Amino acid sequence: MPDLPPFSVQEFPALHSPLLALNDVSCERGNRRLFCQLSVQLMAGQALQINGGNGAGKTSLLRIAAGLLAPAAGAVCYLGEPLADNSYNHRSQLLFLGHQAAVKGSLTALENLRYPVDGRHRFSTEAIFQALAAVGLAGFEDLPCRTFSAGQRRRVALALLILSDARLWLLDEPFTAIDRTGVELIERLMAAHLQRGGAIMLTSHQPVALPGLLALELSGGDSHG
Amino acid sequence: MANGTVNTLRRELLLASRRRGELANPLLFFVMMAALVPLGISPQSTVLAELAPGMIWVMALLATLLSLEPLFAEDYRDGSLDQLLLAADGMAFAVLGKMLAHWLVTGLPLTLVAPLLATLLALPAAGWLPLLASLLVGTLALSFIGAMGAALTVSLQRSGVLLTLIVMPLYVPVIIFGSATVQRAIEGFSWLAPLALLATLAVAAIALCPLVVVGALRLTASE
């Protein structure tokens, strides 16, 4: 296995309060209660896998943690402060990968990463080449992404894991359409991210090999929900 | 904070350069309509000159309207909208970049081909400069107000009709002051007053519309 390229941030400063905390959060979608009074704390160096059947509210929970969706009740805190007061810190230390890759087909892999929509980053060409090589897209840098397979598109988005300096990763089904070596790569990246003091919240239907992985079971989405 | 605007602007212009055909549509519409007016109404230059200011402005408005629907739709479908909402320095700056890019690839070209239309419609020479000036400023207002409608209707399947209904009333002052600028110049009056009002509309649109767009897109994301 090739070595991973170095992250831009080697080690995050130590923290004593939880990085992310969901306090008594409830979520309702279309008159259906998905979960109620859910509390989760994520410390630096921790990873949490959200499990649950289809429609159990995994993605909703992740979107609530990202601040994209307002919870029906309860509060989301980043570094101990509610998101409303701390949204700049939260957003600037957040990497959210939704189940759509947010990769533009008419741009090349390089261009997709050079001007990320979030406007925060400006990566060097060299760093992007390194990251693309690490996710197995060496030689594909200058091809328009519409010629890529679904897995390759996702790999372009996954290159952000290497490039970004975000401390909190929210990954919605990161393994979708990814082959076995890709899954191993993501697991290694996640392990390295935890090592440097990052935190991860992810949803996945498959078991994830990550030391110290916490699990949360969402039981909503069934008839008594 | 301008970082978000510049980054988005460059990205959007790059995207625009990859779909030039699509971008040419409003422009072609603009020119073709102007070519049809003399055929449909009268080729007499006195009649055309009378109609030209209002006609060119109506067509600029319709051409802009044509270009609005895809503004946020693709981002909505491919997940980019979520990333836009998570822009650290506030989404308004990123959105501003998108809207500026939209003006650069629709409003500005419409302004630049306007002399061709002025010729086709026999616009008197006194109206040329006011026409260019008013289109330059007015299309900015059209783009920004239009983006508001596009953001409000982004999650709808066929948003065209609703988009038009939302945007049209807001376009009314733009078209009134836009064509008045040209009309007054042709009649020999000072045309700076309507132009200044048009500029006011444009400045207000640039300042306020990104905020409305952000609110609308946030609502969409939390659906």
Average the pLDDT over A157-161 and give the result.
92
The predicted structure's pLDDT at residue A87: 84
Average the pLDDT over A32-60 and give the result.
90
The predicted structure's pLDDT at residue A76: 93
Which of these ranges, A121-125, A139-143, B168-172, has the smallest mean pLDDT? A121-125
Q: What does the alpha-carbon distance between residue A222 and residue B21 come to, in Å, rounded to a whole number?
A: 48
Average the pLDDT over A169-189 and give the result.
92
Q: What does the alpha-carbon distance between residue B206 and residue B214 come to, in Å, rounded to a whole number?
A: 13
Report CB contact under 8 Å: A118, B86: yes
Q: A5-16 in b/e burial notation, b at 16+ Cβ within 10 A? A: bebeeeebeeee
Helix %, strand %, coil % of chain B (to 5): 85, 0, 15
Report CB contact under 8 Å: A120, B88: yes
Q: What is the distance in angstroms between the CA of the first residue and the CA of the last residue of chain B?
A: 28
- Average pLDDT, rounded, for chain B: 92
Place of tokens 């419409």: B110
| Residue A142 sits at the chain B interface (C-beta within 8 Å) | no
The predicted structure's pLDDT at residue A162: 92
3-class secondary-structure state, position B29: helix
Structure confidence at residue B1 as a pLDDT band (50, 70, 90)? low
pLDDT single digits (tens) B38-63: 999 888 999 999 999 999 999 999 99
Whether residue A50 is predicted with pLDDT greater than 60 in this model: the reply is: yes
The contacts of residue B192 (CB under 8 Å, 6+ apart) are none
Q: Are A47 and A201 in contact (CB under 8 A)?
A: yes
Which of these ranges, A12-16, A20-24, B24-28, B73-77, has the smallest mean pLDDT? A12-16
Q: Which residues of A touch B79 (CB under 8 A)?
A: 98-102
Whether residue B223 is predicted with pLDDT greater than 80 in this model: the reply is: no
The predicted structure's pLDDT at residue A115: 81
Average the pLDDT over B158-178 and give the result.
93
The interface pTM score, or ipTM, of the predicted complex is 0.87
The predicted structure's pLDDT at residue B133: 97
Whether residue A2 is predicted with pLDDT greater than 60 in this model: the reply is: yes
Domains of chain A: 46-67+96-216 (3.40.50.300)
**C-alpha separations of B74 from A95, A113, A139, B71, B205 in Å:** 21, 18, 27, 7, 23
Structure confidence at residue B208 as a pLDDT band (50, 70, 90)? very high
The predicted structure's pLDDT at residue A225: 36
Highest mean pLDDT among A17-26, A63-72, A90-99, B100-109: B100-109
How near does any CA of chain A get to the CA of B162, in Å? 23
Q: What does the alpha-carbon distance between residue A222 and residue A80 come to, in Å, rounded to a whole number?
A: 33
The predicted structure's pLDDT at residue A222: 47
- Average pLDDT, rounded, for chain A: 88
Measured between CB atoms, which of A63, A98, A107 is closest to B15? A107
Per DSSP, the residues of chain A read -PPPPPPS-S-PPP-SS-SEEEEEEEEEETTEEEEEEEEEEE-TT-EEEEE--TTSSHHHHHHHHHTSS--SEEEEEETTEEHHHHHHHHHHTEEEE-SS----TTSBHHHHHHS-TTS-----HHHHHHHHHHTT-TT-TTSBGGGS-HHHHHHHHHHHHHH---SEEEEESTTTT--HHHHHHHHHHHHHHHHTT-EEEEE-SS----TTEEEEE--TTSTT-
Q: Which residues of A touch B97 (CB under 8 A)?
A: 119
Measured between CB atoms, which of A98, A119, A120 is closest to B79? A98
pLDDT single digits (tens) B26-39: 999 999 998 999 99
Report CB contact under 8 Å: A120, B84: no
Substitution target from B86, B219, B220 for chain A, most A beta carbons within 10 A: B86
Q: Which residues of B touch A173 (CB under 8 A)?
A: none
Please name the residue of chain B whose CA is at the shortest distance from the CA of residue A27.
B222
| Residue A187 sits at the chain B interface (C-beta within 8 Å) | no
Measured between CB atoms, which of A94, A107, A120 is closest to B14? A107
Structure confidence at residue A1 as a pLDDT band (50, 70, 90)? low
